[in-house]
Amino acid sequence: MLHKVVCVAIPGMAPFEFGVICEVFGIDRSEHNGPAFDFHVVTAVPGALRTKLGFDIVVHDDLSAAADADLIAIPAYEAGTDIHPDVLRVVQEAEARGAWVLSVCSGAFILGAAGILDGRRSTTHWMYADALAEAYPNTTVDPDVLFVDDNHVVTGAGTAAGIDAALHVVRRELGAGAANVIARRMVVPPQRDGGQSQFIQAPVTERCSDSFAEIVDWMMQSLDQDLTVDQLARRALMSPRTFARRFRAELGTTPTAWLNRQRLMLAQQLLEETDDTLDLIAVQTGFGAAAVMRHHFVRTLQTTPTAYRRTFGRRRAAPANDAGRDELEYDLVGLS
């Protein structure tokens, strides 16, 4: 369970990315049925730390609080800044004991220096992706995603993608409801898929015309329907090719991938908040069949719907017929 979160302040760190970690994990949201983390900001040498923008932040606590943290978070920092060896040790020990390790933007270089990216996929800001791959050739760097989660080591891309990466960790540990409470308070989308592109082709001022935004809203209200690109294109008065190209340009992913993510999020919510059977939830979310829904859960969330409900459901239990079938399906997948 995610409870104790430690943010390691680094000389030369970027204030925004540091603030993202503090905003997601450092605020008590229990009054809105959200999480309240045991949050600490620590540093190798307590005192005034000069940030990347030239002003100082004073950190009073040393690294001792990191010894039993459930999550170690590393903000972006000025490339080339010397990293205290005790910071690398803290990262190594966290990974070794199975704790979460999260980096934002150039913070991935610290994870690389600690050796915990070896054999893992990773990402960072697209501007630094080549440098990360060159410095740490034993990691596979993907420059075109928002974040990567490789066995509890999460690397986020630049700036706002750090919010997506942090909310991903919350969602994995505490469920969709907890992540949604934080996102709602921050006035950000509750979940952007980690596989989305880091950058959007169209400028912000040209994005989501009224007609296109209307189609996206309709898609959200029609998740239970069998939506095809041809059908969506006709509704948008575009050719299928034009619609697919514009959708990716404006939302950073394909229509099918976007729909699957929205359906998965809705299914998570229904599993947490209702006693509906897996078959009914599969119909309500547009997956059609429980087996199809389970496939998407396993592929994206590395768990089954029944296991998710056991962990995050308000009643902590699923109907017996759902549980038995889901576990059987999971066993069969494991044999395939």
More confident residue, 336 or 215: 215
Are 231 and 319 in a shared domain? no
Check pLDDT > 80 for residue 39: yes
Measuring CA to CA, which residue among 43, 26, 41, 152 is closest to residue 101?
A: 152
103, 181: one domain: yes
Buried b (16+ CB within 10 A) or exposed e, 66-100: beebbbbbbbbbeeeeebeeebbebbbebbeeebb
Query: How many residues comprise the chain?
Result: 336
Confidence of residue 184 (pLDDT cuts 50, 70, 90): confident
Q: Which CATH number does the domain housing residue 154 bear? A: 3.40.50.880
pLDDT at 196 over 90: no
134 in any annotated domain: yes
Pairing mode, if any, of strands 47-50 and 56-59?
A: antiparallel
- Kindly tell me if the per-residue pLDDT of 331 is higher than 80: no
Q: For 231-266, what is each residue's pLDDT tens digit?
A: 999 998 999 999 999 888 887 789 999 899 899 989
- Where residue 195 falls among pLDDT bands split at 50, 70, 90? low
pTM summary value: 0.73
Residue 172 lies in a domain: yes
pLDDT at 187: 82
Give the pLDDT band of residue 213 (cuts 50, 70, 90): confident
Is residue 41 in a domain?
Answer: yes
Question: Is residue 272 domain-shared with residue 169, that is, in the same domain?
Answer: no
pLDDT value for 198: 55
Q: What single string gives the DSSP state of each residue in 238-289?
A: S-HHHHHHHHHHHHSS-HHHHHHHHHHHHHHHHHHH----HHHHHHHTT--S
Is pLDDT at 210 greater than 60 in this prediction? Answer: no
> Quick check: is 171 in a domain?
yes
Residues 246 and 262 in one domain: no
Same domain, 239 and 281: no
Report yes or no on 52 lying in a domain.
yes
Please tell me the predicted confidence (pLDDT) of residue 200.
Answer: 41
- Pair (213, 243) in one structural domain: yes
The mean of the pLDDT values for the chain is: 87
Do 310 and 266 have their domain in common? yes
pLDDT at 205 over 80: no
Same domain, 228 and 95: no
| Residues 145, 71 within the same domain | yes
Give the least confident one: 67-76, 117-126, 291-300, 307-316: 307-316
198 within some domain = no
* 130 & 267 share domain: no
Domain membership flag for residue 75:
yes
Domain that includes residue 276, residue range: 257-335
H-run or E-run covering 116: none
Supply angle C-alpha 34, 104, 48, rounded to 5: 95
- Return the residue matching tokens 């994995």: 172
Number of domains in the chain: 3
Q: Which residues pair with 150 in a beta bridge?
A: 153
Cα–Cα distance, 12 to 9 (Å, whole number): 9
Asked, for residue 238, whether it belongs to a domain, the answer is yes
- Domain termination residue (choose one: 186, 217, 244): 186
Of 137, 153, 186, the domain-final residue: 186
pLDDT above 70 as % of the chain? 86
Long-range contacts of 134-143 (CB under 8 A, 24+ apart): 135/109, 136/109, 136/112, 139/112, 143/198
Q: Is the domain of 36 the same as that of 176?
A: yes
User: What pLDDT, on the 0 to 100 scale, is given for residue 42?
Assistant: 98
Quick one: CA torsion of 281, 279, 303, 167, rounded to 10 degrees?
A: 0
CATH code: domain of residue 269: 1.10.10.60
* pLDDT greater than 80 at residue 166: yes
Same domain, 78 and 139: yes
Q: What pLDDT digit, counting tens, does each position of 116-155 carry?
A: 999 999 999 999 999 999 999 999 999 988 899 999 999 9
Closest CA to 169 of 24, 271, 10, 9: 24
**pLDDT value at position 320?**
46
